[in-house]
Amino acid sequence: MSAKLLKAPTSSSVRLISFTKARIVPGIVSGTWILIVTGNKPCWNMTVRLSPLIYVRRPEFWGIEVVGSVPGFCLPAIAPYTVSLPLAGTTGTRGVEVIGSNKRQKILVPGASGPPVAAKKATTKKATARKKK
């Protein structure tokens, strides 16, 4: 990522949001995969999407953020969401890592070019804080 981009101010209209479940399912074409993420959004009018991180080199697990944006103001009502992302071009050597405000979850992608080792379970922010103490 360019130094100029990294120094740019962060957006205040887009936020990481929590997710409850992330899974990978086969695509229609053989050898393709789709990431599906579900959860509850805090605003009824929030748009949720999956945003892959940018890398110079292919990482072991490609980070994909779960982000929400609200046009104007939040209509406060918890609503379920389901979003998906085809993984062509956004898969690490072993898989993907879904990044939400409440946890990070690594998922192995079948056919990725890394060694066949099991991915770690989802880590919540509370569990990470306990490990650091």
Domain tally, the chain: 1
Let me know if 4 is exposed, middle or buried by CB neighbors in 10 A (0-12, 13-18, 19+).
exposed
pTM: 0.81
Cβ proximity of 65 and 6 under 8 Å? no
**What pLDDT was estimated at residue 118?**
47
- Per-residue pLDDT tens digits for 42-95: 999 999 999 999 999 999 999 999 999 998 889 999 999 999 999 999 999 999
Band (pLDDT 50/70/90 cuts) for residue 123 is low
* Secondary structure element (H or E) that encloses residue 3, with its range: helix 3-7
| Cα 109 to Cα 24, 59, 87, 100, 103, distances in angstroms | 7, 13, 9, 19, 19
- What are the tokens at 115? 């060694």
- Per-residue pLDDT tens digits for 24-34: 999 999 989 99
CA 18 to chain centre: 10
Domain interval for residue 124: 3-132
| Cα 102 to Cα 18, 112, 113, distances in angstroms | 5, 26, 29
Q: Is the pLDDT of residue 120 over 60?
A: no
- The chain-wide mean pLDDT, for the chain, equals 87
| Pairing relationship of beta strands 21-26 and 33-43 according to DSSP bridges | antiparallel
